[in-house]
């Protein structure tokens, strides 16, 4: 089955803060039907990150014909999770995700504690008929005690409670082959993120090739210091093997959506997601409806 193409709303985060209703209308008018939220202020807002009440948000999504297929929630706080799930259940969101995690280098005890939290979040989601998913960056491909952190997360979480949203851009930036990762964990994969890397990027594709050490402690400060805005381009205009990734994803039995995401752009945000949509139309095995 073709993968349905959607947009991660982080791509238009600036506009959403200024005018959430108008921005969602513009996203729909651009031609996107499927959207994923990105709430980075969940400690103060249980919803989508721009303080729109659940009833109004449900009406907005219905009015503009937008289907919410997930939402990142940061921070993941158990004491606030019921409020978060109340909101997302009310607007018809089937699943929430963890957007970014950092693991102190070599600290297996910390990693296991976070995995226990992920299992608990997954259990709370399942009780409501929802799912919880983990979204990666590149730091999950450091090696702790002879294993990738990513594999340790998979080993220490329940596959019935913790699913996967693979970000293929960040896998490639960690020197990984997304097709192999998809094959290895295909049963847990429910969402796919796709970005693109420009031909004239100022960094090597693999960040572990001289930009970041595999053996250093990677935290948010290191992540932001080494994340170069010039290493992103509109999806379909760069050099990543996107068709190969789409082809590999066809084998994942529970995967339905591939979500375009633009972390940084030299364009205005709406022009950027329109450019990505136009460029992405050349790929086989995808659908927009």
> What pLDDT shows up at residue 1?
86
- What pTM did the predictor assign? 0.97
How buried is 126 (Cβ within 10 angstroms: 0-12 exposed, 13-18 middle, 19+ buried)? middle
DSSP bridge partners of 96: 71, 132
Cβ-based neighbours of 145, under 8 Å, separated by 6 or more: 106, 108
**3-state secondary structure string, 79-125?**
HHHHHHHHHHHHCCCCEEEECCCCCCCCCHHHHHHHHHHHHHHHHHH
> What pLDDT shows up at residue 28?
98
Helix (H, G, I), strand (E, B) or coil at 7: strand
Q: In order of start, what are the domains of the chain with their CATH numbers? A: 3-287 (3.20.20.150)
Residue 180 tokens read as 């192999």
pLDDT < 50 positions in the chain: none
Map tokens 């460029």 to a residue. 279
> What pLDDT shows up at residue 15?
98
How buried is 207 (Cβ within 10 angstroms: 0-12 exposed, 13-18 middle, 19+ buried)? buried
Residue 2 tokens read as 């073709």
How buried is 253 (Cβ within 10 angstroms: 0-12 exposed, 13-18 middle, 19+ buried)? exposed
Main-chain phi, psi angles of 180, to 5 degrees: -70, -40
| Gyration radius of the chain's alpha carbons | 18
221-242: buried (b, 16+ CB within 10 Å) or exposed (e) per residue?
Answer: eebeeebeeebbbbbbebebeb
């Amino acid at each position: 089955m073709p993968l349905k193409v959607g947009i991660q709303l982080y791509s238009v985060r600036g506009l959403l803060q200024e005018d959430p209703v108008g921005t969602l209308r513009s996203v729909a008018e651009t031609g996107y039907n499927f959207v994923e939220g990105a709430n980075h202020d969940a400690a103060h807002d249980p919803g989508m990150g721009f303080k729109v009440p659940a009833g109004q948000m449900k009406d907005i999504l219905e009015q503009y014909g937008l289907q919410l297929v997930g939402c990142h929630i940061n921070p993941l706080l158990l004491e606030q999770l019921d409020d978060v799930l109340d909101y997302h259940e009310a607007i018809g969101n089937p699943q929430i995700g963890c957007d970014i995690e950092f693991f102190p280098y070599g600290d297996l005890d910390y990693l296991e504690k976070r995995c226990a939290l992920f299992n608990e979040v997954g259990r709370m989601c399942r009780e409501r008929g929802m799912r919880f998913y983990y979204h990666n960056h590149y730091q999950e491909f450091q090696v702790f005690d002879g294993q990738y952190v990513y594999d340790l997360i998979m080993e220490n979480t329940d596959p019935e409670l913790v699913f996967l949203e693979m970000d293929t851009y960040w896998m490639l930036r960690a020197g990984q082959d997304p097709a192999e990762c998809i094959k290895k964990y295909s049963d847990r994969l429910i969402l796919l993120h796709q970005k693109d890397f420009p031909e004239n990027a100022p960094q090597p594709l693999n960040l572990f090739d001289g930009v970041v050490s595999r053996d250093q402690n990677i935290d948010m400060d290191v992540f932001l210091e080494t994340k170069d805005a010039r290493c992103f381009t509109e999806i379909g205009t760069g050099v990543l093997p996107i068709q190969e990734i789409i082809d590999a994803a066809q084998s994942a039995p529970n995967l339905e959506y591939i979500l375009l995401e633009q972390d940084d752009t030299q364009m205005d945000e709406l022009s950027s997601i329109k450019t990505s949509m136009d460029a992405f139309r050349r790929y086989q095995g995808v659908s927009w409806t």
